[in-house]
Amino acid sequence: MPAAVIAGCLCVNLAVALWALITRPALNSDFRGPWAFVSFARHLDVALIYQAAPMQAFQRQLYPGFQSFFPFQYPPSFLLPTWWLGDFSYPAAFCLWTLGGLTALSAACWLFFPRRSRWLAIAAVLGAPAALLNGVAGETGFFTAALLLAGFGLLPSRPLLAGIAFGLLTLKPQLGLLIPFALLGRQDYRTMLAAGATALTLIAASCAMFPAGLWAAWLPQMRIDQAQYLAAGRSLGLDEGVTIAANLSRIGLSPGMAWVLQTAGSLAGAAAVFFSFARAPYPLAVAALLAATGLLAPHAYVYDTIPLAAAMLMLPGSLPVTGICVAGYLAPFLLLTGADAWFFDAVPETLLYLCIIYLAFRSASPPNIRHEPVPAAKSFSGRH
């Protein structure tokens, strides 16, 4: 990734942040969702949190003039780490949420990347257009990217801590579906156990704090949300979708066929991630998973693609690869222009993913040889 591109995007993000601090614009931020969810759980019957009518009525009362609606689509455990939001006003909670996310993501980059590349990595990730959109929207992308990078930064030397990070990612479970295949490929069973124990702890804690029946309400609601995802169009942000199915649906493919191709791609991607972690250099394997996470998830949006910037930094600097990286890095800017109808992020995502998989397969070792886990400095210089 050219340093000039990173520097330019970082300047844009800093300028937008400064403008927002000075002018305090009234944005229709997605953060209204998490703040409303916690307020609903604190002041109304939390057992109704998955029901659309009471949640919509509550949000319209909470935000006068607000005509949209944010359904609660997260697992019940999501309320645990966000419960503190209810102790602050909306503006204060938004500021703390954003600053906390930026801090967590910066710390994860510091942990994941080798010493000589850390500052460049932090600039690239925080300067990514996807990070700008996440910051404006007040979404969860900073936190989920931080958990992914921290987990894979810890995995070679601190497998139990890595498992805790991966277990916490079950708060947004669709972004962690490829992780078990990576851990199986590396035969990191301690990490799998730690991740499972963390997830079970979250479930148990949520059942202790809230009605256990919330989980029974979430599972069918999740299926309903998945069925509506491709049919709802802009009302569920399909124009900001980055998955194979979302992009195919936007060009007119039927939802059923889009899901078939999405499922086929996800199965193939899971096999490729397993192979990469079993046989390829560790940085390439991680890059493959990061590139595939948004593309192959059941549903994901542009703010979920922040880890792509980290994946790009682990690739050699040949002209074709650099071109793909720049296109994928800058693509989210289309959503801020009149060319937003041309935002088909699955295209550069797919090209980047196929490029990484090709490099991983080309660099694969025989089955009885395992790569050293953290040769990350080599990957930045393009030597594999």
**Does residue 300 lie within any of the structural domains?**
yes
**Does residue 165 lie within any of the structural domains?**
yes
Domains contained in the chain, number: 1
pLDDT tens digit string along 225-248? 776 666 665 555 677 889 999 899
User: Is residue 133 within 8 Å of residue 335, measured between CB atoms?
Assistant: yes
Measured distance between the N- and C-terminal CA atoms of the chain, rounded to whole angstroms = 17
pLDDT tens digit string along 320-332? 889 999 999 999 9
pLDDT tens digit string along 82-116? 999 999 999 999 999 999 999 999 999 999 999 98
Closest CA to 352 of 372, 330, 373, 336: 330
How many Cβ atoms sit within 10 Å of the Cβ of residue 349? 27
CA distance 223 to 216: 12
**Does residue 22 lie within any of the structural domains?**
no
pLDDT tens digit string along 179-211? 999 999 999 999 999 999 999 999 999 999 999
Give the type of residue at 116: R
209 alpha carbon, distance to own chain's centre: 27
**Does residue 246 lie within any of the structural domains?**
yes
pTM of this prediction? 0.91
**Does residue 315 lie within any of the structural domains?**
yes
Q: What is the model's pLDDT at position 134?
A: 95
**Does residue 304 lie within any of the structural domains?**
yes
Domain range holding 269? 3-17+27-381
370 alpha carbon, distance to own chain's centre: 29
